[in-house]
Amino acid sequence: MKPGVATAARTHVRTIRTPEGVSFSLPLAGPVSRCLAWLLDALCLVAFAKAVQVVVALTGFISQDLSQAITMLLYFLFYLGYAMALEWYWNGQTVGKRLFGLRVMDVRGLRLRPSQIIIRNLLRAVDSLPVFYLLGGAVCLASRYAQRLGDIAANTIVVRSAKVAVPRIDAVLAENRYNSLRAHPHLAARLRQQATPVEADAALQALIRRDSLDPEARVALFAAMARHFKDKVAYPEEALAGISDEQYVRNVVDLIFRR
Amino acid sequence: MIIDLQKFIAAEQPFWNELEQVIARQEQDPYRRMSFDEIRRLHYLYQRASADLAKIDTYSAELSMRLYLESLVGRAYSFIYGAQQETVRFRPWQWFWRTFPQAFRRRWRAFALSLAVMLAGGVFGSAAIIIDPEAKAVLMPFEHLQMDPAERVAKEESGANEKRLGEGKTTFSAFLMTHNTRVSIFVLALGMTWGIGSVLLLFTNGVMLGAVVADYLRVGQSAFLVGWLLPHGAVEIPSILVAGQAGLLLAGALIGGVAAKPMGERLRAVVPDVVTLISGVALMLVWAGLVEAFFSQYHEPTIPYAAKIAFGSVELILLALFLRYSGRREIGLAVRRRLLGRWRKRQ
């Protein structure tokens, strides 16, 4: 089985189509977030250089020459190996990338190989030309998948890897103890059949985010939604008596997402 | 039709949780070997999550649900299809004796090109110094190279430089290692400029080297020159050439030529060899740095030039033999056959 790769319609997303016929998207990280992550990594490097200076200075009483040589070698090794080691052990993340929710991935969505990690970091030498990653940044802006030269050579991309959890649908539906619309099963069936997935999701999202809306905006939004669903299926007056627009939308969502 | 999301989540969540646990375990230790039953289970869980994602895509537009399943399927996909790639533990001994020289031989054409560019630079540098000795200031940016060769030889043989280095040899050695490795990485990285940068750097290195050689030879200081350059140059110059080889390999994959494969595939094919070559270069430069700081800077009468030239020649021959023959399968088989034959005779 060879994994198939489909190109994304939008340039800030890498869409991969698996042989099972499903697609998943990897949101690409932009140059700004990558730059911030790099600044944080640069701070780590400076902190390490200071620490090495202090520790190795203690060995200066044995030999000043040896102490200077060790400092030089350690700093060089850390400068070169910092990102390589962390990206290997943390699956494509350094301290900066971890804090900004970024991750290096293979462009086909596969696991990173050590050679990819090494080459993308060695090529920082050319990406950082002439100063402050100007060349790498320009290539990143122009490239299809926001890749710098190191990423192009290594076939890697940097994606945003926010932790995604299972949505808490229960939090919305559990509050709905009594649903007057359930008294009319034939109308409920018609509503389920007529409501599109997009409409149902819009209603669900409005309920999930209700607390983040201003009171006036909330009233207006649920009034518009209630009107929309009432136009689809007309319930008798007694089923709607005494319930607010928001409660009506909640009942509709309850009917659609819970049978 | 819209699926009953609450029922759907309740039914499928145990499988998603199980898949998450399997992936997290593998992410923590990529070398962990899974049993056949574990692999079958992982495959089943992945296919189930994929089917769930397809269902969500078709029957529900619930965004956070889809994001969650996409992230889960994406992580599982990288493990299942990434397993087709070799996951081999790094073995330094095997890498040094087999992988590095084999990669060098496999990509010998790029090395030949790298050598040709540097030689062309050398010829240019020598010709420039012979035709116009005043060009020295432009061709050799280092102060100690700009003085008259005879004057420098007299100064070096008086031991002045040895005294100056005196207590700083370890630092000098560390400086040489890090500086030369940086330059080599730069030669490699400039391969991404379609090789133009790598070629320019190789050529300018050749120009400097050619100019120095011509400058010393024309005033009859050949013994000093060879005794000074050969001990560390026997490894340092080939290492720059190998870095150029790696850079030109990258450039070749970038340009493509007659290869019908897309650029990504071409780069994927050469990157492991590029990394092997540049790692070999780093190792060679550690040796060259030690030799340059602790051996090359001593001249007659401290160390006779003949001894220095002999040392450098042995290094060069060993390096050539290593790159030419080390890790050759037929040699390994012949040695094994001979040892087996002797053992059988004894039996």
**Whole-angstrom distance, CA of residue A191 vs CA of residue B31:** 52
Indicate if A133 and A189 belong to the same structural domain. Answer: no
Among residues B25, B50, B82, which one ends one of the domains?
B82
Query: Would A5 be classed as within a structural domain?
Result: no
Integer Cα distance of B308 and B41 in angstroms: 65
Q: What is the pLDDT, as a whole number, of residue B166?
A: 64
Nearest-angstrom CA–CA distance, B191 and B197:
7
Do strands A102-106 and A156-160 pair parallel, antiparallel, or not at all (unpaired)?
antiparallel
Same domain, B175 and B27: no
B166 vs A7: CA distance, rounded Å = 62
Kindly state whether residues A185 and A221 are assigned to the same domain: yes
B206 within domain boundaries: yes
Candidates A172, A168, A188; CA nearest to A180 is A188
Domain of A145 in residue numbering reads as 13-160
B311: domain range?
A: 97-335
Task: Of B298, B324, B323, B322, give the one whose Cα is nearest residue B311.
Answer: B298
pLDDT at position B165: 62
* Same structural domain, B315 and B200: yes
In this complex, the residue of B6, B68, B185 whose CB is nearest that of residue A122 is B185
Run of H or E including B68: helix B63-82
Looking at the fold, whether A105 and A231 belong to one and the same domain comes out as no
φ/ψ of A143, rounded to 5, equals -80, 155
Predicted pLDDT at B243: 97
| pLDDT tens-place string over residues B315-324 | 999 999 999 9
- If asked whether residues B68 and B103 sit together in one domain, one would say no
On whether both A65 and A148 belong to a single domain, the answer is yes
- Report the b/e string of B146-172 with b at 16+ CB within 10 A: eeebeebbeebeeeebeeebeeebbbb
A244 contacts A207 by C-beta, under 8 angstroms: no
Domain assignment present for residue A98? The answer is yes
How much is the average pLDDT of A21-45? 91
* A149 & A194 share domain: no
Q: Are residues A155 and A242 in the same domain?
A: no
B81–A197 CB contact, under 8 Å: no
Domain annotation covers residue B216: yes
Q: Give me the pLDDT at residue B98, please.
A: 94
Sort out which chain B residues have CB atoms less than 8 A from A198's CB and list them.
Answer: 61
> Of B228, B241, B239, B224, which is closest to residue B291 (Cα–Cα)?
B228
- Whether B344 maps to a domain, the answer reads no
A-chain CB neighbours of B27 within 8 Å are 91
Residue at a domain's end among A105, A140, A160: A160
Q: What is the pLDDT of residue A4?
A: 45
**Domain assignment of residue A77, yes or no:** yes
* Domain-terminating residue out of A140, A160, A180: A160
Q: Are A33 and A159 in contact (CB under 8 A)?
A: no
pLDDT digits 0-9 by tens, A145-202: 999 999 999 999 999 887 677 766 776 776 666 778 888 888 888 888 888 878 888 8
Strand pairing category for A13-17 and A23-27: antiparallel
**Residue A4: inside a domain:** no
Looking at residue A175, its pLDDT comes to: 64
From the list A155, A170, A256, the residue facing B268 with the nearest CB is: A155
Residues of B in contact with A26 (CB under 8 A): 74
CA distance to A123, B115, B133, per residue, from B125 (Å): 29, 15, 11
Here the tokens at position B248 are: 């030109």
Show the low-confidence residues of chain B (pLDDT under 70). Answer: 1-2, 30, 59-62, 83-88, 160-166, 257-259, 332
Count: domains in chain A? 2
Q: Please tell me the total count of domains within chain B.
A: 2
ipTM reported for the complex, 2 dp: 0.87
Distance CA A87, CA A77 (A): 15
Query: Quick one: closest CA in A to B272, which residue?
Result: A115
Burial of B339 (0-12, 13-18, 19+ CB in 10 A): exposed
**What are B327-336's contacts with CB under 8 Å, separation 24+?**
B327/B97, B327/B98, B327/B99, B327/B100, B327/B101, B327/B102
Beta strands in B56-161 (DSSP E): none
Cα–Cα distances (Å) from B291 to A163, B183, B295, B313, in that order, read 52, 18, 5, 13
Same domain membership, residue A193 and residue A141: no
Interval A111-132: pLDDT, tens? 889 999 999 999 999 999 888 8
Q: Does residue B53 share a domain with residue B143?
A: no
Q: Do A65 and B186 touch (CB under 8 A)?
A: no
Residue in A181, A173, A170, A172 with CA at minimum distance from that of residue A229: A181
Residue ending a domain, among B82, B116, B140, is B82
**Residue of chain A whose Cα is closest to the Cα of B76:** A110
> Are B246 and B165 members of one domain?
yes
Q: Are residues B135 and B204 in the same domain?
A: yes
Q: Which residues pair with A102 in a beta bridge?
A: A160
Whether residue B90 is contained in a domain is answered as: no
Q: Is residue A209 situated within a structural domain?
A: yes
Domain for residue A3, yes or no?
A: no
- Assess whether B31 and B77 both reside in one domain: yes
Question: Of B189 and A54, which is predicted with more confidence?
Answer: B189
Examine residue B253 and state whether it is found in any structural domain, yes or no: yes
**Contact criterion met (CB below 8 Å) for A55 and A74:** no
Q: Are B212 and B142 in contact (CB under 8 A)?
A: no
Q: Which two tokens stand for residue B48?
A: 């189930």
Q: Is residue B88 part of a domain?
A: no
Supply the pLDDT for residue B313: 96
- Would you call A144 helix, strand, or coil by DSSP? coil
B75 and B125 within one domain: no
- Considering the domain architecture, whether residues B298 and B329 belong to the same structural domain is answered as yes
Q: Do A86 and A191 lie in a common domain?
A: no
Whether the pLDDT of residue A252 is over 50: the answer is yes
Residues A141 and A17 in one domain: yes
A186 and A226 share one domain: yes
For residue A125, the chain B residues in CB contact (below 8 A) are 182, 185-186, 188-189
A218 in the same domain as A137: no
Instruction: Fill in the amino acid letter for A65.
Output: D
Minimal CA–CA distance to A257: which of B3, B10, B52? B3
Q: Which of B34, B49, B82 is the last residue of a domain?
A: B82
Predicted local distance difference test score (pLDDT) of residue A193: 83
Across A114-123, b (16+ Cβ under 10 Å) vs e yields bbbbbbbbbb
Is residue A73 within 8 A of residue B178, CB to CB? The reply is: yes
Is there a domain that residue A34 lies in? yes
**Same domain, yes or no, for A124 and A212?**
no
In a shared domain, residues B147 and B259 = yes
- Selected for mutation to probe chain A from B77, B196, B248 (highest A CB count within 10 Å) is B77
Domain membership flag for residue A22: yes
B92 domain-assigned: no
Question: Is residue B71 domain-shared with residue B103, that is, in the same domain?
Answer: no
Closest CA to B127 of B213, B199, B198: B213
* Cβ contact, residue pair A110, B81, below 8 Å: yes
Say whether both B242 and B152 belong to one domain. Answer: yes
Task: Among A160, A178, A200, give the residue marking a domain's end.
Answer: A160
For chain A, what is the mean pLDDT?
A: 86
Question: What pLDDT does residue B154 have?
Answer: 84
